[in-house]
């Protein structure tokens, strides 16, 4: 009789434990959409892996706005895609990159020379998702404090410029891995760099 009770208690404990594990599973950290293709802005992207930051990076030809102070660009990627890249050197379907463009400033104590990051200027995203043409889409959530919660994919001339640059100038797939030394080394080791890098 003791063995039967012990077996029943063990079975109940296993059932309760499995239900707890199922309840603790989190939703995917990949893209979330409304209307099938409009990207919901991830509010926790600053908790994602930080790929790197640039100061004054520009894609404009010389003679652009030289008088404007250089902006900082910060790039984040969803955690599961980062882990997949570190293992394979490739971005999986469902990868979300967030590009944060911030104003640079110099006026704050005790700074006497360098620049630091200031207010958010623009927030953009790039997503690898097979549902889009060529498997990639670009989104703009707006400027500064007037960000939208949802952004439709860029279209027309705006996306054509993105696709052209992200096809010709990127080191791995349609991403600027050349700006992120840790990822660049992984891509070299895995043999996923485009020819010329």
**Residue 114 resides in a domain:** yes
Rounded to 5°, angle at Cα 174 from 193 and 164:
120
pLDDT digits (tens, 9 = 90+) for 7-56: 555 555 555 544 443 333 345 899 999 999 999 999 999 999 999 999 99
**Residue 121 resides in a domain:** yes
More confident site: 188 or 28: 188
**Residue 2 resides in a domain:** no
Question: Secondary structure of the chain: what % helix, strand, coil (to 5)?
Answer: 35, 25, 40
**Residue 9 resides in a domain:** no
pLDDT of 5 higher than 80: no
Q: What is the per-residue pLDDT for 19?
A: 45
**Residue 124 resides in a domain:** yes
Dist. CA 8–CA 137, nearest whole Å = 53
Per the structure, the complete domain to which residue 92 belongs is given by 29-190
**Residue 160 resides in a domain:** yes
Q: C-alpha dihedral over 116, 120, 126, 131, to 10 degrees?
A: 160
Dist. CA 42–CA 158, nearest whole Å = 22
Q: What is the per-residue pLDDT for 60?
A: 66
Q: What is the per-residue pLDDT for 107?
A: 85
CATH number of the domain to which 168 belongs: 3.50.70.20
More confident site: 181 or 21: 181
pLDDT of 130 higher than 80: yes
Which positions ≥6 away from 30 have C-beta within 8 Å? 78, 80, 81, 94, 95, 96
Mean pLDDT value of segment 48-72: 81
What band does 62 get if pLDDT is binned at 50, 70 and 90?
Answer: low
Instruction: Look over the chain and give the mean of its residue pLDDT values, rounded to a whole number.
Output: 86
Distances (CA, A) of 156 to 40, 160, 161: 21, 6, 9
Closest CA to 75 of 49, 38, 93: 49
**Residue 197 resides in a domain:** no
- The 3-state DSSP class for residue 172 equals strand
| Number of folded domains that form the chain | 1
Enter the tokens of residue 26.
Answer: 């989190």
**Residue 15 resides in a domain:** no
Q: What is the per-residue pLDDT for 100?
A: 96
CB count in 10 Å sphere of residue 177 = 26
């Amino acid at each position: 009789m003791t063995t039967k009770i012990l077996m029943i208690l063990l079975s109940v404990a296993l059932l309760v434990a499995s239900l707890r594990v199922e309840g603790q599973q989190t939703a995917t950290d990949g893209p979330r959409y409304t209307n099938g293709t409009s990207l919901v802005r991830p509010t926790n992207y600053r908790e994602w892996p930080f790929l790197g930051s640039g100061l004054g990076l520009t894609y404009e030809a010389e003679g652009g706005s030289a008088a404007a102070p250089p902006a900082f660009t910060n790039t984040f990627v969803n955690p599961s895609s980062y882990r997949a890249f570190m293992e394979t050197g490739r971005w999986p379907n469902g990868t979300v990159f967030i590009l944060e463009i911030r104003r640079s400033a110099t006026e704050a104590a005790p700074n006497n020379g360098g620049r630091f990051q200031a207010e958010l200027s623009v927030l953009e995203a790039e997503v690898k998702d097979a549902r889009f043409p060529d498997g990639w889409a670009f989104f703009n959530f707006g400027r500064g404090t007037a960000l939208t919660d949802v952004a439709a994919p860029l279209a027309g001339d705006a996306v054509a410029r993105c696709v052209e640059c992200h096809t010709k100038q990127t080191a791995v797939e349609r991403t600027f891995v050349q700006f992120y030394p840790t990822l660049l080394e992984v891509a070299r080791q895995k043999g996923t760099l485009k020819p010329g890098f």
